[in-house]
Amino acid sequence: MTRASVAVMDPQSPWHRLGWAAPWLLFQAFPVADLVRTPRPPLVIAVAALALLLFTVAYLRIFNRMFGGCGGVQREMVLVAVVGVALAVWLGPAWSGLMIYVSAAAAASLPERWTWPAVVGAAAVCAGVIGAHGELGGMFILPVICLLTAFALRGTRYLVSVNAELTQAREELARSAVAEERMRFARDLHDLLGHSLSLIALKSELAGRLAERDPARARQEMADVEDAARRALAEVRDAVSGYRQVRLAQALVEARSALSAAGIGLRAPAVGEPLPAAADAVLGWVVREATTNVLRHSGARSVVVDLATTDDDVRLTVTDDGRGGTGPRGAGLSGLEERVEAVGGRLEAGPVDGRGFRLAVVVPVRLAAEPAVAR
């Protein structure tokens, strides 16, 4: 599609606006025919022709700026009204059809409170001119066309304005979708790399301490670092390509490895029957985030994971015996809460009585079975 064709199809383009005016120019056949056939002095013919040309130019300029409100079209509207009324009153019934143009211009450009007084006035002038010449019976349709034209163009103007609003709404929704996807991707990278990099840093530190007194164990820890780095790279690639998925069982295995390297004990149940994909993914992210927080902030010596499943929901609780948390939630917990709420669940996080921190999530199985958490 060429740029010119796009401009013609654009409701806000000058050519499209003029397209609404062009059909009504057919009514100028009557004054032009009267100007040619009726014997008049040359000066009258010249003045009438010039006035008709001026009337038409002003009319087309109004439609060129159509749907822009009354700002900038008042002079053209006044010109169309004054010249149209003057020609109709001066030259008779053949020129009374110009009132149709006055109605169209008023409906296309004037605010609602001004439109209908102008339209009714134009119809009254039209009826008065043809009535004064005794032709109201034969030309009564012209005042009716004045009203019908105004109704048609007001409806068209409303539809075009609504279409413009819908276009703006679609653009705003598209911008919102892009912003939401950026936030989702940032959250996913935070969750993925936060856990993996914490594990890599921990095992690298441990391997450095063991390098002299236990080289074999140090080599094993560095092999784990390499595996963790490769796994993190694969997960980032999966996240970028949109097929990343986290499972509860996998997250528990990774948590046991990471916590063990830090000298933290983990007591966790074996995952029984398979959970719905959405619930399984959310709970996997919960374990990952909880493990990352324990490694970074808690100073805990042990972590307990409890999993309870009913016909209606799944409850996962991760409790540590560390220092607890009293500050505001970080990006990890905020992103995790968004994931849980997306499947209709709820998240509770806070220090426990005495010492430690508890992260509890309840996910409804039936609701979580429907939406796809993995992207």
* Local confidence band at 72 (pLDDT 50, 70, 90 cut-offs): low
Nearest to 122 by CA among 155, 151, 150: 150
Nearest residue to 189 (alpha-carbon basis) of 288, 293, 98: 288
Listed residue (327, 339, 250) closest to 293, CA to CA:
327
Percentage of the chain exceeding pLDDT 70:
82
Of 16-25, 229-238, 241-250, highest mean pLDDT: 229-238
b/e map 97-107, b = 16+ CB within 10 Å = bbbbbbbbbbb
Q: What is the pLDDT of residue 330?
A: 66
Confidence of residue 318 (pLDDT cuts 50, 70, 90): very high
pTM, whole model, 2 decimals?
0.45
CA 267 – CA 354 distance, rounded (Å): 20
pLDDT at residue 4 is higher than 60: no
CA distances from 307 to 93, 288, 334 (A): 90, 15, 22
Question: What's the CA gap between 375 and 361, in Å, rounded?
Answer: 21
Contact 347, 315 (CB under 8 A): no
How many Å apart are CA 275 and CA 257, to the nearest integer?
23
Indicate the domain borders of the chain.
3-171, 246-375
Distance CA 259, CA 305 (A): 13
What is the full DSSP assignment across 36-54?
A: HHS---HHHHHHHHHHHHH
Region 203-211: mean pLDDT is: 82
Average pLDDT value for the chain: 79
Contact between residue 356 and residue 321 where contact means Cβ atoms under 8 Å apart: yes
Amino acid at 270: A
Long-range contacts of 178-183 (CB under 8 A, 24+ apart): none
Read off the pLDDT of residues 246-286 as tens digits, 9 standing for 90 and up: 788 888 888 888 888 778 888 988 877 778 878 888 888 88
Can you give the pLDDT at residue 18? Answer: 58
Distances (CA, A) of 78 to 52, 54, 72, 319: 15, 12, 12, 79
Q: Which two tokens stand for residue 211?
A: 């390098």
Query: Tens of pLDDT along 74-128?
Result: 788 888 889 999 998 898 888 888 888 888 888 888 888 888 888 899 889 988 8
Q: Which fold has domain 246-375?
A: Heat Shock Protein 90 (3.30.565)
